Structure 1
Amino acid sequence: MENKFLHKAVVVWSNVCRFLLAVVFLFSGFVKANDPLGTVYKVQDYLEAWGLQSLSAGYMPYLAAMLCALLEFILGIYLFFGIRRRVAPLLVLLVMSFMTPLTLWLAIANPISDCGCFGDAVVLTNWETFFKNVVLLIAAISVFKWRQYIFNLVTTKVDWLISLYSILFIIFFMLFCLRYLPVFDFRPYHVGADIVKGMTIPEGEKPTVYETLFIYSKDGKEQEFTIDNFPTDSTWIFVDSKTRVKEKGYEPPIHDFSITSLETGEDLTDDILHSEQYTFLLVAPWLKQADDSGMDLINEVYDYSVEHGYRFLCLTASSEQDITDWQENTGAEYPFALMDEITLKTMIRSTPGLILLKKGVVLRKWSVSNLPDEYQLNAPLEKLPFSTWNPKTSVHKVVEVTGWFLGPLLLLTVVDLIWLRIKSRKKKKEKENKKETL
């Protein structure tokens, strides 16, 4: 009786662990596929933290980002449906055996702010990520040890179809989001976002208090000082300074939005965020790496904005020489402004990308692959659908993406089962015919 109870407990535990891993891997792989460029940026952060800057400039980060999203999503599918019950638990165990010590190093050394395992959808601290991975590692060990108890949700007749279709779906979804923009935008600059509100600390909330430490050396020994106990002895030699969080408080989701005119050096932030007029922002963190295939359309949008009295700015973190080269190569006549590179990368996942603002509210976003043309911009913005935002709700998008995944999959599965049944009937008929002839 005790052995029977223990057996049931092991079966339940192994399958609970299996579904936990499946959900986490599916979610992690999907959000990476949803924001492939964001995953590329995170891979580049890892490479720079490991001193491999030479690899971060080529195609390697793109390949790594896509393989990571594909592997996690497919392993999640395998575990969820009970496909490849020998290979999938082993691969999951290997992944968690690698990720757990890696996230421990991240938590101790803190070379990057977060691991990026769930993109911008769920941001965890490095210690939270490590403890999460400890739980997942225990689950992975359990599933691998008792993999014989994993039950199938589908028959072996269609598991190959689910596997193949899932691979094709996540690849095409990833390429779609890379060419256009993420279907789900979890960043504070999503369509409909009020940037001014995102920069404001709510009433009653305390801001984070920072403290600057000054490092001085004397007689070969270094010591840290604050502004309150600054050394008066002139024999101390300044070495470095650093800022740390003294008291954690509320941090607004947007805190580095600052626009400086390249031509005059004037701070344009407040003027743009509180302006009643429409503003087109062409966002290109590094013009050297920007895609210039849509420059004709961008120049048309600029001409359109001049004709109707709208503002147009190119925001970049590039050097003046790169800006000059861009102007010569593309015929750009629009003004330029400088902004922080990380903020620009966060604003839109396209290099370049186009954003339409009014009174600090994001009305529209376009990637370089779907810029508006003269046929769409055929009247003042007030008379076009661009003048207001009416985005799909998150629930609508979830239903739509789920439908795109499950709809064709169910159709293909039904077709495959019908075909198998037809083949089975043919074989049965052939056997009957052979018996009759005998």
Structure 2
Amino acid sequence: MEKSNTTLRRRLTTAAVVILRIVIGATFILSGWAKAIDPWGTVYKITEYLDVWDMDVPRALVTSFTFLLSAWEFVWGALLLAGTYRRVSVISLLLCMAGMLPLSLYIAIASPVADCGCFGDLLIVSNTGTFIKNVIITAALIYLLAHNTRVRQLYTTHTQWIVGGVLTFYILLIALIGYNIQPLVDFRRFSPGTSLLTDESEGEEGDDEAEAVYSFIYTRDGLTRSFTADQLPDSTWTFVERKLESGSENIDDGLTVTVDGEDILPDILMPDGDTPLAEQFIVTIPQPYDVDLSFTNLINDLNDYIAERGGTLTAFIAGDSAAIDRWMDISMASYDIYRVEPNLIKELARGTSALVYLREGTVVWKRTLSSIDPAETGRHAASRLDETLDPAPGKMLRYINWSLAGLLLLIWLFDLLLPREKATATSPSGPSASPVSSTESTDK
């Protein structure tokens, strides 16, 4: 009877460890991958926290921390799921939770930000839900700390360091592409394939209530003020949030360009009033004082190219009239420039400056200006520059993912060829405990 109970207890422990490895490992994989796929979004979220705490941290440090955090969560989460580095993986994730758990308690109580940003724009979790999630994760990791080495790993100690290196290279590559070009997967509202023209018929039956009116909350030097859409402050103010004052928020869920209190985006996309232009470029500049001035020549070349094809180039800038006048002066712009709410610009495209290509009002692709070789505009100006500049993120991600899967499979097959000696581990229940790999003694 005692032997039967011991066997049952051992099997339940094994099942619990396997389940927790999968669930907790997958959670960290998803969290790290979501942060890495859109590093700019993570930078913006961390900056929100820093603004609330009135901390001025250089963006380079925030960006470096973003890369480190996403890689830490993804790599150790994947190693935990595979049962590799059975002790160190659990300890590393517990160290992560040592910071995340009190932080989530703070945001659950004080609500300094709308959401924690744990999973980027992929999955929005409430502040209270985030704290509950972190409590469960921490408890599960404590259990794994005691029992994780009782179950064998997928990769042995001979190859686990290679697996860790491959996973680290993969996630950093994903993050670098997302930071320097654009996220390989766009979870925001204005993703490729989305029309920027809203369906006006949705609001026809709602009369006055159909039109949403927002106020925009900004802060500077401890002072918080509310502004209307056509009276946004200069770049010395920090955006906090957008509040719905009246109307239906569900209807006003698109991009808006407000001039004198009226949305003129349809006029920009459909200058003749009937159909959108066949081709258009939109340049997004969320922080006009941080843009490399050398991009002005590139933008002018792009404007010449699209104009020859019957399209237009329009710049969306976040800033006051002084910022727009400065940009027009230094760029000698012959294209239209409009002031747009900063968060909308950041949601449309990532980066300090980016290019969005539209076909009949629908987003086709986007990329940062820094990722465009200026020589391309001259070499392909008479051909299909719009196709040449398309980063094809879906194709790129599939290639990277299949390469990762292939490498991990090859390492696993190679691991099978290596000798795996068996030894009997003695547990507190007695010498009848289940056999485990002899590599347990050297598994870190």
Which TM class, normalised by the smaller chain length? 0.7 to 0.9
Distance 2:199 2:52 in 1: 30
2:310 matches 1:314: no
Deviates more, 1:191-200 or 1:291-300: 191-200
Please identify the structure whose Cα radius of gyration is greater. Answer: 1
Partner of 1:28: 31
User: Is the CA contact 1:79–1:89 (under 8 Å) kept in the aligned structure 2?
Assistant: yes
Q: Which moved more, 1:405-414 or 1:100-109?
A: 405-414
Residues 1:303 and 2:304 are matched in the alignment: yes
Query: Could you tell me whether the CA contact under 8 Å between 2:52 and 2:112 is conserved in 1?
Result: yes
RMSD: 3.8
**What are the ranges of 5 or more consecutive residues in structure 1 without an aligned counterpart?**
213-241, 422-438
Report the Cα offset of residue 104 of structure 1.
2.5
Query: Do the aligned residues in 2 keep the contact of 1:11 with 1:150 (CA within 8 Å)?
Result: yes
Deviations 1:245-284 (A, max 9, x none): 89998736x63622146xx997422213445213321100
Tell me how far apart the structure 1 counterparts of residues 204 and 411 of structure 2 sit (CA, whole Å).
Answer: 55
> Higher mean Cα deviation, 148-157 or 354-363?
354-363
Cα offset, 1:286, TM superposition = 1.0
User: Are residues 1:373 and 2:398 paired?
Assistant: no
Q: Structure 2: how far apart are the matches of 1:172 and 1:392?
A: 13
Q: How does 1:22-421 map to 2 (within 5 A)?
A: 22-52=25-55, 54-55=56-57, 57-197=58-198, 251=250, 255=253, 257-260=255-258, 267-274=263-270, 275-277=275-277, 278-371=279-372, 373-379=377-383, 399-411=398-410
Counterpart-to-counterpart distance in 2, 1:20 and 1:127: 20
Give the match's secondary structure for 1:195. coil
d(CA) in 2 for partners of 1:377 and 1:211?
A: 41
Letter in 1 for 2:276: E
The answer (yes or no) to whether the contact 1:260–1:268 under 8 Å persists in 2 is yes
* Displacement after TM superposition at 1:64 (Å): 1.3
Could you tell me how far 1:344 is from its partner in structure 2? 0.4
- Closer, same or farther in 2 for the Cα pair 1:90/1:200, shift >3 Å? farther
**Distance in structure 1 (CA, Å) of the matches to 2:175 and 2:248:** 36
- Give the Cα separation in 2 of the matches to 1:202 and 1:16: 48
The 1:250–1:300 alpha-carbon spacing in structure 2 relative to 1, beyond 3 Å, is: closer
8 Å Cα contact 2:24/2:137 also seen in 1: yes
Q: Does structure 1 conserve the Cα–Cα contact (< 8 Å) formed by 2:108 and 2:128?
A: yes
Q: In the TM superposition, what is the alpha-carbon distance from 1:293 to its structure 2 partner?
A: 4.3
> How far 1:379 moved relative to its partner?
4.9
CA contact (8 A) 2:258 2:340 kept: yes
Partner deviation per Cα, 1:218-258 (whole Å, 9 max, x = no partner): xxxxxxxxxxxxxxxxxxxxxxxx99889998736x63622
Q: Which amino acid aligns with 2:406?
A: G
Q: CA deviation at 1:99?
A: 1.6
Contact 2:365 2:391 in 1 (8 A): no
Cα distance 1:200–1:93, how it changes in 2: closer, same or farther (>3 A)? farther
Q: Which amino acid in structure 2 is aligned with residue 276 of structure 1?
A: P
Normalised by the length of structure 1, the TM-score is 0.75
Q: What is the CA–CA distance in structure 2 between the aligned matches of 1:46 and 1:354, rounded to whole Å?
A: 28
Distance verdict in 2 for CA 1:159–1:4, change over 3 Å: same
Deviation at 1:392, TM superposition (A): 7.4
Q: Give CA-to-partner distance per residue, 1:124-158, whole Å, 9 cap, x none.
A: 22222222222222211211122222420012211
Structure 2 segments unaligned to the other structure (5+ residues): 216-240, 420-444
> What amino acid is aligned across from residue 280 of structure 1 in structure 2?
F
Corresponding residue SS for 1:59: helix
The AA in structure 1 aligned to 2:255 is F
Retained in 1: the 8 A contact 2:156–2:415? no
Shift of the 201–41 alpha-carbon distance from structure 1 to 2, 3 Å rule, reads: farther
Deviation at 1:408, TM superposition (A): 3.8
